[in-house]
Amino acid sequence: MNYPKGIRIKNNKSINYANRGMTLENDINQTNEYYKEIEKAIIYKRPTPIQVTKVHYPSQGKVIIKEAYFLQPSTLDYCGIYNGKYIDFDVKETTSKTSFPIKNIHPHQLKHIEQIIRHKGIAFLIIRFTKLNETYLLFAKELIEYINKTDKASIPYNYIKDKGHIVEIKYSPRLDYLKIIEEKLEE
């Protein structure tokens, strides 16, 4: 599929529901629903930005968008509030077993992550190595530290395993990433 992840196209029969509930994004969405229900946190998925170029007014008060384009996001996919604190993160999957390609994070997103650090927000990536079936939370500080000191095109698996925090997959919530945030805040 060529449209950005997370965009739902109504009536598109080619969507494959076989993997529903198995992607990292679905696991995070389910977890965020859970957090909302138990009133632990409110985490939003930011919509993919869209530039509208043509609209049509079929009748009074009605608007149909007739031409529009997906734009490159300059922020991360998720943001929200946990106990008054600002949270901002993205989820990334890789099929590599040995490293995480830095090109998966756009330069605008890196700039955004650096801004959130400066403004004392809680920013991180949730990275899944799909072939290892392992999911890690890597805080922004450790992410930026590695990227700033390396000339390599990727972050080694061992760095993420060492500096990151493993997130176990459970039934509900699927990925209890806030547990790691809580431990970090208690330090």
Q: Does 37 contact a copy of itself by CB under 8 A?
A: no
> Helices marked H in the chain — which ranges?
24-37, 107-118, 140-149, 157-163, 178-186
Cα dihedral 19, 135, 5, 16 in deg (nearest 10): -10
Q: Does 185 contact a copy of itself by CB under 8 A?
A: no
Within its chain, how far is the Cα of 86 from the centroid? 15
Q: In whole angstroms, what is the distance from residue 178 CA to residue 36 CA?
A: 12
Q: Does 67 contact a copy of itself by CB under 8 A?
A: yes
Q: Please identify, among the stretches 68-76, 95-103, 143-151, 171-179, the one whose residues bind a copy of itself according to the rule CB under 8 A.
A: 68-76
With CB under 8 A as the contact rule, the residue among 13, 20, 38, 84 that binds a copy of itself is 84
Q: Does 44 contact a copy of itself by CB under 8 A?
A: yes
Q: In whole angstroms, what is the distance from residue 65 CA to residue 154 CA?
A: 40
Q: Does 62 contact a copy of itself by CB under 8 A?
A: yes
Q: Please identify, among the stretches 41-49, 89-97, 126-134, 138-146, the one whose residues bind a copy of itself according to the rule CB under 8 A.
A: 41-49
